[in-house]
Amino acid sequence: MQKLKLHWQILIAMVLGIGVGVIFQNIFNGNPEGTIYTLITSLGVIFVRLLKMVIVPLIFTSIVTGVSGIGGGKSLGRIGTKTILYYLTTSLFAIIIGLTLTNMIQPGTGVNLGLQESFDHSKLQTPGSPADILIRMIPLNPFNAAASGDMLGIIFFAIFLGVGLTRIDSKHSEVLRNFFNSAFEVMMNITQLVIKLAPLGVLGLITKAVATSGFGLFAAVGKYMLTIAGGLSIHFLIVLPLLFYLFTGISPRKHYSAMASALATAFSTSSSNATLPVTMRCVEKNAGVSNKVTSFVLPMGATINMDGTALYECAGVLFISQVLGFDLTFSNQLTIVITALLASIGAAGIPSAGLVMIFIVTQAVGFQDADVAVIIGTMLAVDRPLDMMRTMVNIFSDSVGASIIAHSEGESLYKV
C-alpha cells in the first residue's frame, strides 16, 4: 500500500467509501449514526480542516512571492491579460455547452415538483448583486479579510503587496521577499504532508456523501442531472483537453494524471478553495509550472474561473424556466449567459455556492424568489453529486489555464 501511487490510493478510498456509504445508507435509511460511522466520517472532517488551515497563509505567501517575482508592470500586465482572457473564454464555452444541451434535452419540461410544497427558504441565502461582489473584492482591512477567509479580499491585497514590492528599493524589498519566499516554501511542505492523508480524508467524505443521500428524488429530476453531467463531461473530456493540446502540444493524458490527486480532492470536498493547496502542488510539482504563474492563475482561478459552475448556472436557470413552463426569448437567454458568467465569477469556491448564485440569474430574467425557491430547494436536495463534478471541472480548468499561460511564457512543462 505504501508503494502504491497516491492517486491509486485515493481511487481505492473512493470505491471503499461508496461501498461503506451504501452499507450505512441501507442500515440507517439515510440517517446514519453510531461510533464507527462517526469515526469514518471524522476522517473527512479532519482532512478538510487541515486543508483549510493552510489555505490563507499558502495563497497569501504564494501570491506575494509570485507577483513580486513576475517583475515590473509590463509582464504582470501581460500575464494578467492572458489569465483574464483564458478565464472568460473557457467559462463562455462552458455556458454555451450548457445552453445548447438544456435547450436540446429539455430536462425540465413536464417535470412536476408539486410546487405547493413548502420549503425552508432560510436554507438559501440570496447573494448580493454582481456589482456588490466586485466592490467587496477590496477589503476594508486586510487582516480581517485573512481572519475571515475572505478569498477575494486576500487575493486583492496580496497582489497589491506583490506589486508594491517590485516598486521599492531593493534594500527594503529584499528582506520581505526572502521572508515571504521562505514562508511559502514551508506552507508548500505542510501541504504535501496534508495531501498524504488524502486517501483517508476521501474515504470519510465519500462515505458521508453516499450514506446521507436518499435516492428517491434523484429519479424525478434524473434528466436534469444527466443533462448537467453530460455538459460537464463534454467540457472536461473534450473542450479543455483540446485547448490544452492545441496550446501546449503536450498529451492531455499526461495532464490528467498529473492532476489526479487534485481532481479527486475536488470531487470529494466539493470545494475549489479547500482543493487549492493540492491544485497548486500538482501544477507546480507534477506539471512543472513556475510559481510565478501558478501563484497568479490558481488562487484567483479558484474563486473567479469556474467553468463547471458557469455551465451549471445557465443550465439550472433554463431548467427552472422549463419547469415553470416559461418560454424564454432570445434576449432572456442572452441575459442568462451574461449573468451566468458573472454568477460563476462571484461564486465562492465552497460547497453549493453555485446553487445559491442561481438566485442572481433567476432575478436577472425576472423570476420571483417565491416561484423558484421550491424548485431551487429540490435542486439543492440533489446538488451534492453535481457539485462534486462541477468543482472537479472548475479546478481542472484552472490547471489547464496555468499550463497554457506558462507555456506561452516560454516555460517548458513536464520536464520531470
Interaction site with ligand ASP (CB under 6 A) = 270-272, 306, 309, 347, 349-354, 387, 390-391, 394
Q: Which is nearer to ligand ASP, 97 or 306 (CB)?
A: 306
Cβ-Cβ contacts under 8 Å for 360 (sequence gap 6 or more): 127, 129, 130, 339, 342, 343, 346
CB of 398 to ligand ASP, least distance (A): 10
Length of the chain: 416
Q: Which is nearer to ligand ASP, 391 or 399 (CB)?
A: 391
CB of 5 to ligand ASP, least distance (A): 25
Q: What angle do CA 300, 304, 308 make, to 5 degrees?
A: 125
| Phi-psi label, residue 33: left if phi above 0, alpha if psi -120 to 50, beta otherwise | beta
CB of 239 to ligand ASP, least distance (A): 18
CB of 266 to ligand ASP, least distance (A): 7
Q: How far apart are CA 258 and CA 414, in angstroms?
A: 9
Pick the closest to residue 326 from 373, 369, 370, 367 (CA basis). 367
Q: Which is nearer to ligand ASP, 145 or 306 (CB)?
A: 306
Closest residue to ligand ASP in the complex (CB): 354
CB of 267 to ligand ASP, least distance (A): 11
In one letter, which amino acid is 139? P
CB of 241 to ligand ASP, least distance (A): 19
CB contact at 8 A, 275 and 21: no
What's 329's DSSP letter? P
CB of 401 to ligand ASP, least distance (A): 14
Q: Which is nearer to ligand ASP, 166 or 271 (CB)?
A: 271
Q: How far apart are CA 298 and CA 190, in angstroms?
A: 18
Q: How far apart are CA 334 and CA 329, in angstroms?
A: 9
CA 8 to each of CA 4, 43, 158: distance values in angstroms, whole numbers, following the listed order: 7, 18, 36
Q: Which is nearer to ligand ASP, 70 or 353 (CB)?
A: 353
Q: Which is nearer to ligand ASP, 83 or 397 (CB)?
A: 397
